[in-house]
Structure 1
Amino acid sequence: MAVLAVICIVGGFLALLNPFGATVFAVTLAGWVFLIQGVIQVIHAFRVRDWSGFIWSLGIGVLSLLVGVVLVADPLAGAIPLTLLVAVLFLATGVAKTMFALALRPASGWVWVLASGLVSVVLGVMILAGLPATATTILGLLLGIELVSNGVLFLFVALGLRRIGS
């Protein structure tokens, strides 16, 4: 666990030092995931040709293949739609967390849920406001922050496990 923590922290700081490179990496990785998923989906579609959902399964597979090819061939072009998707996800989760917080209002701690929701909404708006200029770096910055955050978490878990074991 400690090794994973160090890998995440180092990778996160590298991403923060070069958010453009990290964005290209993240988009290319997403492209490969779409390609692999597309191949698996197309193979699956032809294995169940008699199924009523064959056309849908094949269509989703072909679409995934096309998205994968575009993202791998030109990661910078793919950065804009992926950044837009991230912004929309921030907005959607922010609104959901805000509504959840208001439903929790009499309970203790509801303010923290509200704060988290508002932060997500603000981040979504900031990302949308910066498009398309921010598309070349925002995914890399978010990846770096996520890796450092996970690395710190894994470090604390590793230290906690070490204490439990002794």
Structure 2
Amino acid sequence: MSTVTPTPETYSLETGWKTLAVAGGSIAVLGVLAMVLPLAVGVAVSYIVGGLLIVGGLVHGAHVVSAKGWMGSLWQLTLAIVSLVAGIVIVVNPIIGLLSLTLMIVAYLLVNGIVELGVSLRMERGSGRGWIAASGVLSLGLAVLLWVQFPEVAAWIVGFMIGASLFLTGLSMVAVAYTGRQPVEDITPPAGEPRGT
């Protein structure tokens, strides 16, 4: 039975933190650009979703053709038609995709808020219950705000949220990189070399 011995080339955050910091900084910059140009990002996402739906519809259609006599063929055919139609509609008019994605965000925030409030009610006092409840209230508040502003908000909310997510991801990567780097004072000279030379 052979054992794997670590090699000197094994990645370490203490030595590779600069690469992670640069990658995180780049992602954060992309996030800022997405927040500055939310409509362009939202339209691009709509095209991607539309394209994926078309591909999914074609895959379902191919499965219906190849699996003749299968009991679920009718459902597969229905999924194929729905996916193809939805994908084509979104690709032809990406604003419809933005409206749909915005409604999905509203639904997510609504469900997330209700679940977090429900969880907070079951938690014991002093166990972070207040933070969970506050997060739930915030999610519900955002859902209501987006719903009241719908459909005007659809022009920017998808791109802005993607940008904000990228920005926060980039910042967290930079923070991890700087936290994991080896401090200068921890670097000691090799044995045999006098200190201070």
Report the 3-state secondary structure (helix = DSSP H, G, I; strand = E; otherwise coil) of the residue aligned with 1:51.
Answer: coil
The equivalent of 1:14 in structure 2 is 33
Alignment of 1:115 with 2:134, yes or no, is yes
Give structure 2 stretches of 5+ with no counterpart: 1-18, 188-197
Report the 3-state secondary structure (helix = DSSP H, G, I; strand = E; otherwise coil) of the residue aligned with 1:111.
Answer: helix
Q: Are the structure 2 counterparts of residues 18 and 122 from structure 1 closer, same or farther at C-alpha, using a change threshold of 3 Å?
A: same
Cα distance in 1, alignment partners of residues 23 and 92 from structure 2: 30
Q: Are the structure 2 counterparts of residues 102 and 36 from structure 1 closer, same or farther at C-alpha, using a change threshold of 3 Å?
A: same
The equivalent of 1:144 in structure 2 is 163
Amino acid at match of 1:18: L
Q: Tell me how far 1:50 sits from its aligned partner.
A: 2.7
Residue by residue over 1:19-74, the C-alpha shift from the partner in whole angstroms, topping out at 9 and shown as x without a partner, is 11121112122112212222222222333333211111121122111111111111
Amino acid at match of 1:62: I
Cα distance in 2, alignment partners of residues 4 and 51 from structure 1: 49
Looking at CA atoms only, which structure, 1 or 2, has the larger radius of gyration?
2
1:1-166 mapped onto 2 (5 Å cutoff): 2=20, 4-106=23-125, 108-159=127-178
* TM, length-normalised to structure 1: 0.87
Report the 3-state secondary structure (helix = DSSP H, G, I; strand = E; otherwise coil) of the residue aligned with 2:69.
Answer: coil
* TM, length-normalised to structure 2: 0.74
Q: Tell me how far 1:145 sits from its aligned partner.
A: 0.7
Query: Aligned pairs, how many?
Result: 164
Amino acid at match of 2:87: G
Q: Tell me how far 1:130 sits from its aligned partner.
A: 0.4
Give structure 1 stretches of 5+ with no counterpart: none
Q: Tell me how far 1:162 sits from its aligned partner.
A: 5.4
Amino acid at match of 2:174: L
In terms of fraction of residues, the more helix-rich structure is 1
Q: Are the structure 2 counterparts of residues 136 and 152 from structure 1 closer, same or farther at C-alpha, using a change threshold of 3 Å?
A: same
Amino acid at match of 2:76: S
Q: Are the structure 2 counterparts of residues 113 and 53 from structure 1 closer, same or farther at C-alpha, using a change threshold of 3 Å?
A: same
Cα distance in 1, alignment partners of residues 177 and 61 from structure 2: 41
Identity value in percent: 28
Amino acid at match of 2:146: I
Report the 3-state secondary structure (helix = DSSP H, G, I; strand = E; otherwise coil) of the residue aligned with 1:90.
Answer: helix
